[in-house]
Amino acid sequence: MFGIAYGMGSVVRQVVQSFAGEYSAVASKPVPLGTEYFNVKELGEHMARPGGLSSADLVAYLQARIRRVDPQLNAVIELNPKALEAARELDRERASGKVRGALHGIPILLKDTIETEGMQTSAGAFGLVGEAAGKNAPLVDYLIKQGAVILGKTNMTELAGFRGGADGWSSRGGQTRNPHHADADVGGSSSGSAAAVAAGLAPLAVGAETNGSIIVPAALNGVVGLKPSVGLLDRNGIIPASQHQDTPGPMARSVFDAALMLNAMSGSDPQDPASVGAPQGIDYTQLLVPGALKDKRIGYPVTFSNDGETLPVENSAQFNRALDVLREQGAVLVPVNLALADASRYDELLLSDVKDELNSYLGKRPGLPVKSVAELIKFNNERDGTEVDHQPILKNVDASTLTLEQRKGLWDECIRDFRSTIDDPINAQNLDAIVSDFETNSYFGVAAAGYPGITVPSGRDEDGLPTSAYFFGTRWAEATLLAVAYGYEQAAQAAIKPRL
């Protein structure tokens, strides 16, 4: 499984040729060698050439690749039966001179929490398999309007981790595997989205995060993952966990492609209180230019403080090399102390949110076997038995007792505390962003604050697995974070391809 590195000449050609027949019936011509790792710009250029690659060819090729490669990864939980039809229509539009945007004809995978017309949206749970979603989440319509082809849905940690179980496992999709090594941690809960992009099953995927669900799998699978500010993007039509933290976000193999995705996904919900003040109409690629790091003030943690105690940060050699890259590109590195927020009641608040919001969603979604968390627990017990506790977190969710009124003041205080741990050093030192070693788990505080963060590949560790640098900032700082991440990515050139 892991003995062939893509890009290794004749061996790869044999691999490609071995499944060429699978898509020859629907593809009009062979696709260029290495197409599975082309970026969006390269794919667009090939499609723009007379007689060049078509969207239908690309979709058929990736469908065949998924059928061949994905049984080893379990990254894709369902293919869109209408993907080829959509691709052909986009090819006809291009032939007539109409191009919707940078994503015209580009296949994209969606996490299985995002409602997609005619397809299951189950969060990986058999208890949520039933009547297909009646319409697309607004986010999906935004992507389609920009020309994206919905290739399929990705596997994930069941119920976004709120069932309990291994990262990347769902009862419906099985165990997602890290394409860099089958036994490596794949992360959760947008596991399939990250693994699929890393393995060349699609150039782009949409993940969703409550706490680390984009950032963690992106880092562990060696791709770019952007977790936007809560409220920047429309969250309707996405199976919820907590209004205080939920957000969809792009996952791609480059910062530029993530920015293109964010452009296409942009559109907030005016009824969502978290969207008040969200910037609109921004081209998130505009600041992705040479010299993007010059004179950027970037903080990096040298100490953490908690309850009056200050502890030094032990950064990895890999992270210290990332700091060297930033410094060499003209960034001003500023050592900072990161305070830790009081998270003593965080879990209690979050689980109570999940209970109320998941109950509300299930109660409104037609055609499912269950209508509540309690019914889902019963369904799972009847299906999987009760010999072992196979849904411990879901039981804790159902046992939550805090009401919405009780939670409101506690959440307000909790979020203020988490936000201050980021805002204080940024304001005090006039920083553009903060960078940390992914291993320091700083993504937890960023998620709890509802703030944006982006992880970028930084190389490989002693076991040959991907490492990442994690950039984060204050609310609505996506444009600056993308610029900083792009500058680092272009200088470091540290992304690695998996050995499949």
Q: CA-to-CA distance for 272 and 108, rounded, in angstroms?
A: 26
436 tagged catalytic: no
Do β-strands 149-154 and 76-79 pair in parallel, antiparallel, or remain unpaired? antiparallel
Q: CA-to-CA distance for 245 and 287, rounded, in angstroms?
A: 27
CA angle 380, 384, 387 (to 5 degrees): 110
- Residue for token pair 């061949």: 68
Helix (H, G, I), strand (E, B) or coil at 118: coil
266 tagged catalytic: no
Helix (H) and strand (E) counts in the chain: 16, 14
Q: CA-to-CA distance for 18 and 257, rounded, in angstroms?
A: 30
171 tagged catalytic: no
DSSP string, 53-73: --HHHHHHHHHHHHHHHGGGT
Q: CA-to-CA distance for 114 and 442, rounded, in angstroms?
A: 26
CA angle 468, 5, 252 (to 5 degrees): 40
Following CA atoms 385, 386, 389, 392 in sequence, which dihedral angle do they give, to the nearest 10 degrees? Answer: 80
Neighbours of 479 (CB within 10 A): 19
Catalytic residue among 122, 171, 189, 352: 189
Helix, strand, coil distribution of the chain in percent, nearest 5: 40, 15, 45
Q: CA-to-CA distance for 14 and 11, rounded, in angstroms?
A: 5
CA distances for 303 relative to 20, 290, 414, 452, angstroms: 54, 32, 22, 22
Q: CA-to-CA distance for 259 and 245, rounded, in angstroms?
A: 21
Catalytic residue among 213, 275, 352, 458: 213
From 448, 441, 444, 443, select the one nearest 419 (Cα to Cα). Answer: 448
Catalytic residue among 111, 153, 227, 296: 111
Q: CA-to-CA distance for 66 and 75, rounded, in angstroms?
A: 9
CA distances for 40 relative to 106, 214, 236, 410, angstroms: 7, 20, 27, 44
- Residues taking part in catalysis: 111, 189, 213
